[in-house]
């Protein structure tokens, strides 16, 4: 009996999918893929000819609730490639799962050894408005219409110019000797940038630096307007003399700033000790123990939004303890604060002040 050894979905990944004549009870889940186009068409390539009568309801796409998405399944002329086309667009920022179950059979009648699933999520509406290419988009194989839509230069016909074009659309990383894009690092590229009081998420892929230069970020990057796209949706970041990175404007608010501040509890505890401040702009009542005595305290988290997208977050401890002494003086009501400046890519500790807090670090 022959085995169905490989299957490729969208030419992006490979998986082992042997065929067998008996039933197997396990399934294989492939790595999740994010940023998929809302018009995504999946191509599933088998290494044996497939019986098209076994495709219906055996290759499916479902949404997060388990509802099946209407698709068109078509077997190509080679009988080894199945195309899965959605009848409508996927919803932006939604999670879907494509499933190939064990009932798909070859023309010889052998069944798959294991079911295969792959979870994918679609591009956000913001990415779509910013004309950010989907994650599996390749400028080398893109149509002229797609190149124009995503703000890439047109593909030339001249061979010499084509090599220069390939360098351009890969941010200069294209190697003409091997006709490939070598592995390279982007450790210096920020995850987010701020320009014109707006926060932009930076795409890690390299692309051409084109369009009109319209500004500079506080961390040394230059901002270009994507041809044909409003800068309120997306821009291009030049962070070196070599490559450009597409950026999509995102909604960044006080809740995001609080998440950044409290993302590493050990860093916060290095400043405030064992106090557990609320991770939202609110107050809580608790107590601390000093010399085996429980002292009631109120912990408050305050957010100053007056200079968005920079947020000043103040953590305030207030206590009322008639029996609490410091340097021979009774403290009935006391207050201490710690201040932090939170930016989209991290935060800085500013200062602290007030009374000596009734707690040990």
pLDDT in tens, 263-281: 999 999 999 988 999 999 9
pLDDT at residue 23 greater than cutoff 70: no
106 and 21, same structural domain?
yes
- For residues 118 and 219, membership in a common domain is answered with no
The number of folded domains in the chain is 3
Residues 10 and 118 in one domain: yes
Judge if 41 and 105 occupy the same domain.
yes
Same domain for 267 and 336, yes or no, is yes
User: In this structure, are 88 and 161 located in the same domain?
Assistant: no
Confidence band, pLDDT 50/70/90 cuts, at residue 160:
confident
Q: How confident is the model over 96-103, as a mean pLDDT?
A: 93
Helix (H) or strand (E) holding 298: strand 293-307
| Same domain as 87, residue 36 | yes
In a domain, 139, yes or no: no
What is the residue range of 85's domain? 6-123
Neighbours of 11 (CB within 10 A): 11
**Residue 59 sits in a domain of what CATH number?**
2.60.40.3710
Phi-psi region of 197 (alpha: psi -120 to 50; beta: other; left: phi over 0): left
> Residue 190, CB half-sphere, CA atoms under 13 Å: how many?
21
Report which secondary-structure segment, H or E, holds 125. Answer: helix 125-129
In a domain, 104, yes or no: yes
The DSSP result for 246-288, as a single string, is EEEEE---HHHHHHHHTT-HHHHHHHHTT----SSS-EEEEEE
Contact predicate 234/123, CB 8 Å:
no
- CB 225: neighbour CB atoms within 10 A? 18
Per the domain annotation, does 128 fall within a domain?
no
The phi, psi pair for 256, rounded to 5°, reads -65, -40
- Do residues 243 and 290 both lie within one domain? no
Q: 361 or 337, which is more confident?
A: 337
pLDDT score of 259 more than 80: yes
Residues 179 and 282 both lie in one domain: no
Residue 129 in any domain: the answer is: no
Closest CA to 107 of 158, 49, 24, 53: 49
Q: Is residue 328 very low, low, confident or very high in pLDDT (cuts 50, 70, 90)?
A: low
Residues 55, 102 within the same domain: yes
pLDDT for the residue 28: 67
User: Measured in Å, how far apart are the chain's first and last C-alpha atoms?
Assistant: 69
CA angle 107, 110, 115 (to 5 degrees): 115
Domain boundary residue among 250, 269, 292? 250
Given 123, 152, 172, which residue is the final one in a domain?
Answer: 123
Q: Quick one: 302 and 228 in the same domain?
A: no
Shared domain for 117 and 11, answered yes or no, is: yes
| % of the chain residues with pLDDT over 70 | 85
- Residue 8, pLDDT above cutoff 60: no
Last residue of a domain, one of 250, 272, 302: 250
- In sequence order, what are the beta bridge partners of 194? 199
Q: Which residues pair with 226 in a beta bridge?
A: none
In-domain check, residue 137: no
> ω into residue 309 within 30 of 0, thus cis?
yes
DSSP state of 352: E
CB within 8 Å of 128: residues ≥ 6 apart: 38, 92
Inform me whether the pLDDT recorded for 289 exceeds 80: no
pLDDT top residue among 156 and 321: 156
Q: Is the dihedral of CA 125, 127, 128, 130 positive or negative?
A: positive
User: Quick check: is 360 in a domain?
Assistant: no
- Global pTM exceeds 0.85: no
Element (H, E) at 144: helix 144-149
- Asked if the structure places residue 138 within a domain, the reply is no
Count other Cβ atoms within 10 Å, centred on residue 237. Answer: 24
The C-alpha atoms of residue 225 and residue 188 are separated, in whole angstroms, by: 22
- Of 43-47, 108-112, 204-208, give the lowest mean pLDDT range: 108-112
| CA 96 to mean position of chain CA atoms | 16
Q: Is residue 359 part of a domain?
A: no
């Amino acid at each position: 009996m022959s085995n169905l050894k490989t299957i490729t979905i969208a030419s992006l990944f490979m998986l082992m999918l042997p065929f067998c004549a008996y039933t197997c009870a396990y399934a294989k889940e492939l790595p999740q893929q994010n940023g998929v186009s809302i018009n995504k068409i999946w191509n599933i390539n088998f290494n044996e000819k497939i019986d098209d009568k076994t495709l219906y309801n055996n290759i499916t796409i479902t949404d997060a609730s388990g509802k099946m998405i209407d698709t068109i399944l078509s077997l190509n002329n080679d009988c080894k490639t199945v195309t899965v086309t959605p009848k409508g667009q996927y919803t932006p920022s939604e999670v879907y799962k494509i499933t190939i179950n064990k009932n798909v059979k070859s023309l010889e009648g052998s069944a798959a050894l294991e079911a295969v699933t792959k979870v994918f999520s679609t591009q956000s509406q913001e990415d779509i408005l910013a004309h950010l290419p989907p994650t599996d988009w390749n400028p080398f194989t893109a149509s002229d219409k797609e190149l124009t839509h995503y703000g890439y230069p047109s593909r030339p016909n001249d061979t010499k110019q084509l090599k220069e074009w390939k360098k351009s659309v890969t941010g200069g990383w294209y190697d003409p000797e091997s006709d490939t894009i070598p592995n390279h690092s982007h450790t210096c590229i920020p995850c987010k940038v701020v320009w014109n009081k707006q926060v932009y998420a930076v795409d890690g892929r390299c692309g051409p630096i084109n369009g009109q230069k319209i500004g500079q970020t506080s961390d040394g990057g230059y901002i270009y307007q994507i041809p044909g796209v409003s800068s309120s949706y997306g821009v291009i970041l030049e962070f070196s003399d070599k490559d450009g990175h597409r950026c999509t404007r995102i909604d960044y608010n006080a809740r995001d700033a609080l998440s950044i501040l409290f993302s590493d509890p050990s860093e916060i505890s290095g400043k405030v000790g064992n106090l557990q401040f609320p991770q939202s702009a609110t107050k809580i009542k608790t107590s601390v123990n000093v010399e085996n005595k429980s002292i009631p305290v109120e912990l408050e988290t305050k957010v100053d939004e007056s200079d968005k997208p920079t947020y000043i977050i103040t953590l305030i401890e207030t206590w009322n303890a008639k029996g609490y002494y410091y340097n021979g003086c009774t403290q009935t009501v006391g207050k201490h604060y710690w201040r932090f400046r939170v930016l989209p890519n991290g935060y800085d500790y500013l200062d602290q002040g007030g009374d000596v807090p009734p707690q040990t670090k």
